[in-house]
Structure 1
């Protein structure tokens, strides 16, 4: 085949592509889409999806960033797209239906538009807010995010547009090492600390570290912990031959947690109760908060929180999404003063938090708020006021006392959202804690099962805090079993390494067994 003939074929192919593109555009309408706050009429970021009028077929929104970028399979969110200020896209000249929302505080707007015979059109979609939490000092954050298999420009765009469209206020990405495959972890290429190049979006982004140990590449090991607001990486970032393919298992996570604290950092346990070093570190007050559902909906409140709380160990609730933002999950904290990375983390450490991927909460006990302590001189009735409000029907709002449901109410429909209120007296005759949660099988707009739980309000009676004997014994057994597993499975180079790691559990058991409120 001659060179001239090949060039001729390439020219024909190019002309064909141009013709197809031009005829395709002739069949489409150029639509400018803007989302606005229904009250202020100001443009706001959010997400949209588009369908044919029948609703049976999704229509791609070309030019807009796919909300599910980087996600695959059932997590891919194929139909949702990000709108920052406004977006221009080519859509077919036919009747269409669009849906939009912004974060967790607006209703889902649904509008229809007929683009038949139109070359160009504009569409403004008003979004109605049903919640005031953002005006009451509550700020939503994601404490656990990694990105991979994106180039730097794609990662920059992701961090500029998606957290903003989800109406997050604070976001922590983190540095993570895993032998060989971490070459594709694009978030590892950002510098540690505040990433102020993204702050103009209205989201405070900070880069921390995921400090971890595994037996095997993915097997359960000592555990994973987020080290946030640190100035320098804690080395080794990943411990042991299982994940790093080198060295020994002779370094406990606790030494890295201590190193982060010396930098003024905060340590948050990851992935529910996954790992073997969580209990001794919570018992020893080394950990500031607990992440649940950061990477899926496995795990339970009972295993991740209630055992600790009933043993007298205060554990604030937190969450994130791990690999990409596959969900709307976040932890809200009530910040005192101006919002900043430190003030947001201070609020989390103080227990002024609730976690959610849908409903938003309010709770007071005797006038005290989430994270506070109600001090009673003797047992008596306290007034509990609670509220949950969300875009999707969350089915049950439950009041939890010391891990047990003591009251629940059904939400009622209010325009295009759901709301449940609780106002009742609760008899207190012993120390404990109270919190709100939802109970539902319903999914949010991204197809993830709804969850939501406040951190507790604590109650002391005659100066004593809760300390239930069975729960203390449960945690003791957890540490004993973990110590035995670590002793059996770990690779230690010396007796000193072995003793250094196993002593974490010994000290944890001594601390839990030591002086404190009497068991009941």
Structure 2
């Protein structure tokens, strides 16, 4: 356990003041400044992003950098031309480096340059953990810059959706864009976003014909026979057809973390409309916590579904947040090995802290066999590196909080958690939550599973929750009477039977 990384807040404050003597001051002239960033260990140019604000806290546009939501992304160096004045800045090269923030002053006619060395406080790749983003959209060159600055290894590039297919009539010459030594952008990613909800596709050889489809017909599962080895992700646990997709074995993962979840809009006919209405006005964490609650119910119903994360960037309003999924790759890294690790649930998701956990030497996703009725204690080995202040740490067992401790208590325990005890089938995971107030900032491991006598835990109430969800969804299918409506209703009826059968198989309340 890396105790030096446990609950470490890494913050570097710099005050840069440049006052150059000039023979004459010209009113309204600009100052020029060049910033170079290198990795402290290798001395090689480092990709980063910087947000510069003026005295009124307004972000400044920096020509020469890729501007996203007031932040300039760049590789190696960035030349800035700014009016005289006082500026604040925040420099970031991804969650494995400390961020830098501070102020500087420029006077008219100033010309200067600085080189900043960034030193990793942790190298996740050396531990076998590689970060990816399941939904990136925009131009390939821009996404390469974003991935380098955010220190992402793998991205799924959403290039086609219900409105566009830029590949139509064109030869497909490459499925992956390889850059930056070992980084990959999978170019054939796509999206189907209709009445049943949003799904993302990865690892396809060609786009799916989802353009000009009706909102309700056909169901997204219509394309299931064409997927081959593709990876299908529900964009959130809040999608209306989630129980149907699960019943049809359509999904490979569920995105539980990302800005799109916090911006999710519930219509009055959404199956979760009543639950969404319970979220207090002004509660910026409510939708994110509801998404987690739904994901836990999936696990409670015996569905072993890996969690993933995405920041859902798009051309108009890109996010510079660090939502991502880390996958643990055994041996040499390759993109295929990364996807295999995701499929196996050997992951954790985060938009801040870097949380790794093992149990008896195994990563998340592992299934521990036990004999029913025999007490078995599982000791969690935990490593945590963070730039944020941690509010609390939790162990979630079978959907309920088994343990919650504060930073001080965790330190007092010298990083050793009490064991998690099982005498029957179940699952557990570890989650840490920060003190960020503007959104729900946390990290969570994927589940570890406990299987007594070869049977997974299946909660009757969780299965009935999804059965009732299907009823509400089916009641609001917006199609006229006829063959198409009958086909969709038959799918929903099959999903209802799936969840009803699961409820009868239940071995837990």
TM bucket (normalised to shorter chain) is 0.7 to 0.9
Greater percentage in helix: 1
Asked whether the equivalents of residues 271 and 291 of structure 1 are also in contact (C-alpha less than 8 Å), the reply is: yes
From 417, 420, 434, give the equivalent of 1:423. Answer: 417
From 448, 452, 456, give the equivalent of 1:465. Answer: 456
> Considering only CA atoms, is the larger Rg found in Structure 1 or Structure 2?
1
CA deviations over 1:26-72 (Å, ceiling 9, x no partner): 944432211122333332111123356xx65557363232442xxxx
Tell me how far 1:123 sits from its aligned partner: 0.8
Asked whether the equivalents of residues 394 and 450 of structure 1 are also in contact (C-alpha less than 8 Å), the reply is: no
Counterparts of 2:467 and 2:377, CA distance in 1: 33
Counterparts of 1:51 and 1:429, CA distance in 2: 56
- Is the aligned partner of 1:490 residue 2:455? no
- Segments of 5+ residues of structure 2 without an aligned counterpart are 1-23, 263-286, 409-413
Match of 1:344 in 2: 338
Counterparts of 1:199 and 1:24, CA distance in 2: 45
CA deviations over 1:258-289 (Å, ceiling 9, x no partner): 321x3x2111111332222x113213432110
- Is the aligned partner of 1:256 residue 2:223? yes
- Segments of 5+ residues of structure 1 without an aligned counterpart are 1-21, 69-75, 148-154, 215-220, 243-248, 413-419
Match of 1:314 in 2: 304
- Secondary structure in structure 2 of the residue aligned to 1:328: coil
CA deviations over 1:343-400 (Å, ceiling 9, x no partner): 2222111111121111111112233211111222332222122343321213112111
Counterparts of 2:452 and 2:351, CA distance in 1: 34
Higher relative contact order (CA 8 A, sep 6+): 2
From 229, 245, 267, give the equivalent of 1:281. Answer: 245
Q: Report 1:188-207 matches (<5 A).
A: 194=174, 196-197=176-177, 199-200=179-180, 203-207=183-187
Instruction: Calculate the TM-score normalised by the size of structure 1.
Output: 0.76
Instruction: Calculate the TM-score normalised by the size of structure 2.
Output: 0.78
- Is the aligned partner of 1:228 residue 2:202? yes
Q: CA RMSD in A?
A: 3.3
Tell me how far 1:484 sits from its aligned partner: 2.9
- Is the aligned partner of 1:381 residue 2:377? yes
Tell me how far 1:236 sits from its aligned partner: 3.1
How many residue pairs are counted as aligned between the two chains? 448
From 123, 144, 147, give the equivalent of 2:114. Answer: 123
Asked whether the equivalents of residues 352 and 441 of structure 2 are also in contact (C-alpha less than 8 Å), the reply is: yes
Q: Report 1:90-489 matches (<5 A).
A: 90-92=81-83, 98-110=89-101, 119-147=110-138, 155-178=139-162, 182=163, 194=174, 196-197=176-177, 199-200=179-180, 203-212=183-192, 214=194, 221-237=195-211, 239-240=213-214, 242=215, 249-260=216-227, 262=228, 264-276=229-241, 278-294=242-258, 295-297=260-262, 298-299=287-288, 300-324=290-314, 325-326=318-319, 327-377=321-371, 378-411=374-407, 421-440=415-434, 442=436, 448-486=439-477, 489=478
Inter-CA distance 505–137: structure 2 relative to 1 (3 Å threshold): same
